[in-house]
Amino acid sequence: MIKNLHHVGIVVKDLDETIKTYTTMLGAGPASTMEMGPMRKADFKVGGSLLEFFHGGEGSPFAGW
């Protein structure tokens, strides 16, 4: 039985739109954002868990997803 979920990583096609949607749904913006080479990431805290949204630019492991 799962008692705690630390984080979930989700690859999205449009990170800016995802940030807008989750900011509206959760009533708060991302806890952090980061650019990592061709990839961008936004983290949202939900209770004791973290939702990590990734967008991969060209050359990233997630390009074309």
pLDDT reported for residue 65: 67
Cα separation, 36 vs 6, in Å, equals 21
Output the pTM of the full model. Answer: 0.85
pLDDT digits (tens, 9 = 90+) for 12-56: 999 999 999 999 999 999 999 999 888 999 999 999 999 999 998
Alpha carbons 7 and 43: distance in angstroms, whole number: 9
